[in-house]
């Protein structure tokens, strides 16, 4: 971690600013500036409750298993195995990232304090760093932080922290907090959302992306029971083989059926849509390795919650976040954005004018007959 992170890290038990004990070790990163210095090992201590926390491999270890959900710990370790198996950084992640957080754009991150909840292998932290954020704190509950640190820990504005989203070691210091594809894997997704929201400044913004319940009945009724009963319990090597076998027809369908059909529809609009066409066309941009990873994720997670729009909107209301922008992504998931800053919120709504996602009662009327109850 960077020495400047010491200005922000709090004890997860009593919320007092942590102090670095003597005997720590530092290294100079390749960049020749003060902020490139890394504290590689040492201990952080709380002056109030006297608890101590290790710094190992450049990462503060701020998870206390006695305060965290056992399910969330287990899920974090499951995903850590996935990230270690698929550590590759891909230039296509940038477009995927901005598709997920749309209507937030790259300029929004400049000079901001940013919190990422569930950083995985660090792919999003790198993009945010490239957008000239002032500082990014990227947290994950499991050992995925080690992959993230290897990929992006050297960047001068990135700090990788092992922490639980439900017990974040920060005060309300962030201009933006975001979480993509993580909250729906928590034991209580809304609890994680509310924890994030409490770390925003008075004019801060939040952005999250979650699996949708709408249009995912087949996943809920077919894939979920198999995942819970069988695949999430398989050994990682065996699951990786199984995921590859499943990924092959998905890859071929995306590249040879969904994407060509979508292109054909631009010339022949009367053609009907295929099952899950929007999503399958979207993932056709990825190679087999990435689709293998996507399938592995779906089969390995101990927990996967599919979130209905009306419930998703309630999260923002409970967090005191007004009038969120809710966008249906690929007709199978939800992006939600809100801000305590009225001009920013108005700007996000403006960017959605004329977009295809129906709002409120319009969406309810369109999708409810087909949605899960």
Give the model confidence (pLDDT) of 166-212 as tens digits. Answer: 999 999 999 999 999 999 999 999 999 999 999 999 999 999 999 99
Report pLDDT for 361: 44
Nearest to 208 by CA among 182, 178, 186: 178
Report pLDDT for 322: 85
Supply the DSSP string of 270-288, one letter for each residue: TSPPPTTHHHHHHHTTS-H
Report pLDDT for 336: 98
Give the CA-trace dihedral at 307, 350, 276, 265, to 10 degrees. 170
Supply the DSSP string of 240-261, one letter for each residue: HHHHHHHHHHHHHHIIIIIHHH
pLDDT tens-place values along the chain, 373 residues long: 999 999 999 999 999 999 999 999 998 765 545 556 899 999 999 999 999 999 999 999 999 999 999 999 999 999 999 999 999 999 999 999 999 999 999 999 999 999 999 999 999 999 999 999 999 999 999 999 999 999 999 999 999 999 999 999 999 999 999 999 999 999 999 999 999 999 999 999 999 999 999 999 999 999 999 999 999 999 999 999 999 999 999 999 999 999 999 999 999 999 999 999 999 999 999 999 999 999 999 999 999 999 999 999 999 999 999 899 999 999 999 999 999 999 999 999 999 987 755 544 444 444 443 433 3
Supply the DSSP string of 53-78, one letter for each residue: EEEETTEEB---TTTS-HHHHHHHHH
For the chain, the distance separating the N- and C-terminal CA atoms, rounded to the nearest angstrom, is 46
Spatial separation of the C-alpha atoms in residues 252 and 259, rounded to whole Å: 10
CATH architecture for residues 64-212+307-370: 3-Layer(aba) Sandwich (3.40)
Report pLDDT for 354: 79
């Amino acid at each position: 971690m960077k020495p400047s992170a010491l200005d922000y890290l709090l004890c997860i038990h009593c919320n007092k600013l942590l102090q670095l004990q003597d005997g720590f070790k530092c290294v100079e990163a390749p960049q020749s500036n003060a902020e490139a210095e890394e504290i590689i090992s040492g201990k952080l201590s709380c002056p109030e409750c006297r608890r101590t926390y290790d710094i190992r491999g450049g990462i503060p270890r701020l998870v206390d298993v006695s305060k965290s959900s056992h399910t969330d710990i287990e899920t974090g370790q499951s995903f850590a195995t996935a990230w270690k198996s698929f550590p590759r950084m891909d230039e296509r992640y940038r477009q995927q990232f901005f598709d997920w957080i749309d209507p937030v754009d790259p300029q929004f991150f400049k000079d901001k304090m940013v919190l990422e909840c569930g950083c995985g292998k660090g792919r999003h932290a790198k993009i945010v760093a490239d957008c000239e954020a002032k500082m990014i704190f990227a947290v994950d509950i499991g050992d995925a932080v080690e992959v993230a640190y290897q990929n992006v820990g050297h960047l001068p504005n990135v700090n990788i922290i092992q922490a639980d989203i439900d017990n974040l070691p920060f005060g309300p210091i962030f201009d933006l907090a975001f979480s993509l594809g993580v909250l729906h894997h928590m034991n209580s997704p809304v609890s994680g959302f509310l924890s994030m929201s409490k770390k925003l400044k008075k004019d801060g913004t939040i952005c999250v992306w979650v699996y949708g319940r709408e249009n995912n009945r087949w996943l809920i009724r077919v894939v979920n029971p198999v995942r819970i009963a069988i695949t999430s319990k398989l050994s990682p090597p065996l699951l990786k083989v199984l995921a590859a076998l499943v990924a092959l027809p998905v890859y071929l369908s995306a590249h040879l059926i969904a994407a060509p059909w979508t292109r054909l529809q631009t010339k022949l609009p009367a053609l009907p849509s295929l099952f899950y066409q929007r999503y399958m066309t979207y993932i056709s941009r990825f190679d087999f390795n990435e689709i293998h990873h996507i399938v592995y994720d779906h089969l390995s997670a101990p927990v996967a919650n599919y979130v209905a729009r009306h419930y998703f909107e309630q999260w923002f209301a409970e967090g005191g976040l007004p009038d969120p922008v809710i966008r249906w992504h690929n007709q199978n998931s939800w992006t939600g954005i809100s801000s305590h800053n009225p001009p920013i919120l108005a700007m996000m709504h403006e960017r959605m004018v004329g977009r295809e996602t129906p709002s409120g009662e319009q969406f309810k009327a369109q999708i409810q007959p087909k949605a899960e109850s």
